[in-house]
Chains A and B, each alone.
Chain A
Amino acid sequence: MQQAPNEARGLVWLASYPKSGNTWMRAFLTNYQRNSDKPADINHLDNGPIASARELFDDEVGVEASDLTLDEIDRLRPLVYTQYARSMETLEFLKIHDAYTLTSRGEPMIPPQATHATLYILRNPLDVAISYSHHSHCTIDQSIQFMADDDHSLVGSKRRLNNQLRQILLTWSGHVLSWVDAPNMKVHVVRYEDMKKDPFAAFGAVVRVVGLPYDEERLRKAIEFSSFDTLKKQEQEHGFREKMPMAESFFREGKSGGWRAKLTAEQVQAVVSAHAAVMRRFGYLDETGSPV
């Protein structure tokens, strides 16, 4: 296929708190880019696994992260992404769950100059709490606590080696604000609920923002090929390698508003009181402060 002379290239971040629709977005983008006659295999989506993958770091740096301290690793990560972005000849999408933080040197871990665009995928924290508990194999009360814990991180153990680097998440609110208000980063916010309610508008906007050629038929097809039912069916038939070992499945219900049936009034209250300001800002609370 002939490439347009001014086709966009560079690194596009797919940033989100875990269980907020990131994989759905990756599935959509892969299907849109491939423009194939059948859905893309969820186990072979484009553009690498995740920004925190240990091997991405090791390859770019030249020594292994497993011989470095957590602080040294974080200080090198901006250089890793700068180096990684330098080699890109097309658009590359990279999923990331880290919050947008500064290293101990005061540099952003995700350098704006290495960034072509950023999509921040956001989901109602009341639903995230449920999904995150299934994913992490913990109770909903625990996941609510994690989401309110400023020190929460993924794979932060110093005693063992994981295939990913430590990812600082901050609180759920802290995570959202760290990205959407990051200086010098043009961040396009996509709400999970809008991807559900009006996929054509939500994904259409994404296509334009990242600089892919806009094509309605392609858009329709990519939305269908990345629908929740298609993804879930693929997982049931062939498994999904990004599922956590203890979780029953990765694609579970794919619903918005599941919290109404699953959370107790106390749990709703705990989430709302911890995250009211951010929830209000992104339309998850009405004027009276009640969840929408």
Chain B
Amino acid sequence: MPDQPPYAYTAFGLNIQSEIPLPGLLPGAPPVALDATPVWVRQGETPTSLAQPQFSGVLYQTSEGEFLLTLENIARYWVRNGQEVIVQTFPNADEAAVTLFLLGSAFAALLHQRGVLALHSSGIVIERSGEKQAVLFAGRSGAGKSTLAAAFHQRGYPLLADDKCAIVLQDGRPIVYPGYPHLRLWQDAAKKLAVDTEALPPVRADLEKFSLPVEEQFHAAPLPLRAVYLLNTHNALEIEMTPVSGMNKFRQLLQNTFRQRFLDGLGMRPAHFQLASGVAKHVRVVRISRPMHPFLLDELADQILHDLEGSHAASAQ
């Protein structure tokens, strides 16, 4: 990292130029860029509301090409045209929190503006006959995405993204661009994975949720998308896996799009529909229901590997 701004980082195949340091992002330029237009993260004044909002949620407003998110005592984020995020930090804000919401919802809006499918998922890399492919674990907050990705990472599978992935179509095929090189884990998930949180920074002050940097075995280049596993919990004691087909695949990709409510006000719904339907055609989607407690982490990882094996054999015939 250069010690003078702008700092250069990469995530989702984007070239990020930032006036503020963004610890936890991969420094430098992307090995394979998604496109040539850089993203600027600047510090500056932001409007208190958009001139003509198409939609107003509890903490955000959207209009075509614009997104405004306000977190009291932390910061306001103004995201414009998929190219620029202006951050107005409030007095005495916790720096970690400022970065957290920047990399979370503000970057989600940025990806939406760029017409990229931001899937609410964590991703790992599997290798088959020399070819690397992306496998994603999608689901709502609390479904177990990060925990499962961490378990795969511990087994030696490279991490591709945590919490959100960027998917685009290239030559009609879905390609996943990597996210951030860290895993965010709650205290009890860390314990399950035998990760000591003592020395780890919390994602923000007052939360027992930690950021585990993934320095080794992070895959920084884009990969073809192989499969999406949709994580759900149920009150039965077994793991159930059900392949999803046809229109339901498309529907699931819509439902699992990160902050998909932003799309309407941004005017990006039609483009997103088209992208999701293109992705749905070329990806295996499997719905998983697992018990809430116990998580059955090892069994789940085994069953996913088994499913990948089986589906590979089937598609090879």
Contact = CB atoms under 8 A, between A and B. Distances in A.
Interface string B251-288: 00000000101100000000000000000000000000
Contact of A83 (B57, B100, B235): B57
B142 interface: yes
Interface string B52-76: 0000011110000000010100000
Contacts of A7: none
Contact of B207 (A63, A69, A76, A80): A69
B203 interface: yes
B204 A67 contact: yes
Contact of B59 (A69, A76, A245): A76
Given A66-B209, A67-B203, A158-B208, A60 B189 contact: no
Interface in A146-163: 157-163
A239 interface: yes
Interface string A46-65: 00000000110011111111
B187 interface: yes
A154 B211 CA distance: 26
A244 interface: yes
A10 B60 CA distance: 23
A245 B292 contact: yes
B15 to A, nearest CB: 25
A195 to B, nearest CB: 25
Interface string B125-146: 0000000000000001110000
A170 to B, nearest CB: 24
Given A58-B141, A67-B203, A69-B207, A243 B59 contact: no
Contact of A63 (B105, B140, B233): B105
A47 to B, nearest CB: 19
A262 interface: no
A161 B57 contact: no
B309 to A, nearest CB: 30
A158 B236 CA distance: 25
A61 B70 CA distance: 10
B38 interface: no
* Contact residues of A: prevailing secondary structure: loop
Given A64-B104, A67-B207, A245 B235 contact: yes
A162 B189 CA distance: 12
Contacts of A158: 187, 207-208
A62 B56 CA distance: 10
A55 B141 contact: yes
A241 B234 CA distance: 7
Interface string A211-255: 000000000000000000000000000010111110000000000
B236 A239 contact: yes
A76 B71 CA distance: 11
A241 B235 contact: yes
Interface string A67-107: 10100000010011001000000000000000000000000
Given A158-B208, A159-B188, A62 B142 contact: no
Contact of B235 (A59, A66, A79, A244): A244
A70 B139 CA distance: 22
B141 A64 contact: yes
Interface in B232-246: 233-237
5 contacts: A54-B140, A62-B105, A66-B209, A163-B142, A163-B233
Interface of B: 57-60, 69, 71, 100-101, 104-105, 140-142, 186-189, 203-204, 206-209, 233-237, 259, 261-262, 291-293
Given A64-B141, A159-B186, 20 more contacts: A59-B261, A61-B57, A62-B57, A62-B59, A62-B69, A63-B101, A63-B105, A67-B101, A67-B104, A67-B204, A158-B208, A159-B187, A160-B186, A160-B189, A163-B140, A239-B235, A239-B236, A245-B235, A245-B291, A245-B293
